[in-house]
Amino acid sequence: MPVKLKQLKSDMLGFISQVRDKKTKKMKLVRTPIRLDEYPSLFVGKLEKTASPGVKTVTYTAKVKSEKPPIDRAATGTKLQTSAQEYITTIRFHDVRFEDTEFTNSIEASIFSNVKDKKTGEVKKVLDGVFYHEKLSVDKHAVSLKGLCTDFRHRWETPLKAANAVIGQPRKYNRLTPPPPVGRPFRNPKNKLGMCKHVWNLLLELREKGEVSEF
């Protein structure tokens, strides 16, 4: 079942944080909901693009930096990390049309292969040639994703894997607390499909750069 990025625009993002109840003085878990497109934009680092005409894929990878959660920390009394973490984030588009020559709205892509030097054993990138691929679309192209943040791992990786939309093997995930209501609530109880804010921001960057068409 191919998954399109448009399907993944979930409304399920939110922070689960521990807050001390002012009346009972006990700690409780509070979810602060936020939609993906309400999220402040994150910094996307240098973009790496790998176009593979043989398997008809185009893959983009960048480090995406998390910013401070946009909630009033003083008001809720939450303890959330303030340092901006960077996560390697990847989006791969499948079934992409490639041609040897330019066509309407095509995008140029240099294709490299890794060649090992027989004497030194050193692996070098050698330019195979220039190809052209169609502009990518959130409606048309199936995608597979990889994200190294905990949200991707705990909320999205399992349902995406079931939909055949994860790059590589998902990491093993062991719950640290008992099931709810004793432990923390399930992040994604209905196994909805979705993407984390890092994937979303990489997608926005690709739209900004003209690699992905408007959505």
Summarize as ranges the residues that interact with Zn ion (CB under 5 A): 147, 149, 152, 196, 198
As a whole number of Å, the end-to-end CA separation of the chain is 22
* Closer to Zn ion by Cβ: residue 157 or 211: 157
Q: Write down the least CB distance from residue 143 to Zn ion, Å.
A: 15
Instruction: Supply the minimum distance, in Å, between the C-beta of residue 139 and Zn ion.
Output: 23
Report the half-sphere exposure of 54 (CA within 13 A, side-chain side).
6
* Cβ proximity to Zn ion, 138 vs 149, nearer residue: 149
Q: Which is nearer to Zn ion, 87 or 93 (CB)?
A: 87
Beta strand pairing call for 57-65 and 86-93: antiparallel
Closest to Zn ion by CB, 62 or 138: 62
Count of C-beta atoms within a 10 Å radius of residue 99: 12
Q: Output the CA–CA distances (angstroms, integers) from residue 13 to 102, 128, 166, in the order listed.
A: 40, 42, 19
AA letter at 109: A
